Amino acid sequence: MQHHIFMMGEFEAVFPDDRQYHRNHMWSQRRSTGEERFGFTAYAVRLLQDVYFLDWSIDAPVAITAGQEIGAIESKKAESSLYAAVSGNLTQFNESLMDDPSAINVDKYETGWLFEMDVSLPTDSTRPLDVEGYLELLIGVWEKTQRTIKGQANE
C-alpha cells in the first residue's frame, strides 16, 4: 500500500493513499458493500494521544447530517465531542471499541475504525480530499496547531 508522511515535529503521521480524508481529521474508505468506513487520521490520533474513552450519543442505524454531534471521546490530551464529516445513513459502529478503544491508538486504519455509513452526495464543504489535498490542509493548520499544543493559541 502506498502512503504519504507528514512530519509533526519529530513524529511521523502516515496517511494511506487508498482512503479519502475529511477536514475534521477523519479518513473514509469505500467498502465492498458500498458503505464508507470512517476513522481518525494519524494526525488526529497523534494530537489526542492515548484514547481511553469513546461514547456515541446516537444509535445506529440513523440518518445524520454533516456537522451533527454523534459522540464524545476522551484521551490523555483532550475531551471532545465528535461530529459527522458528511451526511448520510450511519449504519453501524465498531462495537469492539466500546469495551476497548485502544485500537484507535495502535491500528487507526484497520481495527480502530469508528463507524460505517451510506454517504449522501457531498456538498463543496463536505467533499473529501485525496491524500495530497489533506496534506495541504495539514500544512496550512500545522503552525496554529503547534501554538495550541504549547498553550499559545491566543498570542
Grid coordinates representing 102?
A: 485502544
What are the mean pLDDT values of the chain's consecutive 10-residue runs (155 residues total)?
A: 90 95 96 95 93 96 96 92 96 95 96 96 87 95 78 52
Q: What is the CATH number of the domain that holds 60?
A: 2.40.50.100
Q: Confirm if 87 and 65 have CB atoms less than 8 A apart.
A: yes
Does residue 150 belong to any structural domain of this protein? no
Q: Which amino acid is at 26?
A: M
Q: What is the pLDDT of residue 78?
A: 86
Q: What is the pLDDT of residue 55?
A: 96
- Domain hosting 31: range is 3-126
Q: What is the pLDDT of residue 149?
A: 65
Does residue 132 belong to any structural domain of this protein? no
Integer angstrom CA distances of residue 33 from 7, 24, 45, 127: 34, 24, 27, 21
Count of structural domains within the chain: 1
Q: What is the pLDDT of residue 18?
A: 96
- Cα–Cα distance for residue pair 91/59, rounded to 1 Å: 9
Give the DSSP per-residue string, 56-112.
ESS-SSEEE-TT-EEEEEEESS-EEEEE-SS-EEEEEE-THHHH-TTHHHH-TTTTT
pTM: 0.91
Does residue 75 belong to any structural domain of this protein? yes
Does residue 43 belong to any structural domain of this protein? yes
Q: What is the pLDDT of residue 2?
A: 93
Does residue 103 belong to any structural domain of this protein? yes
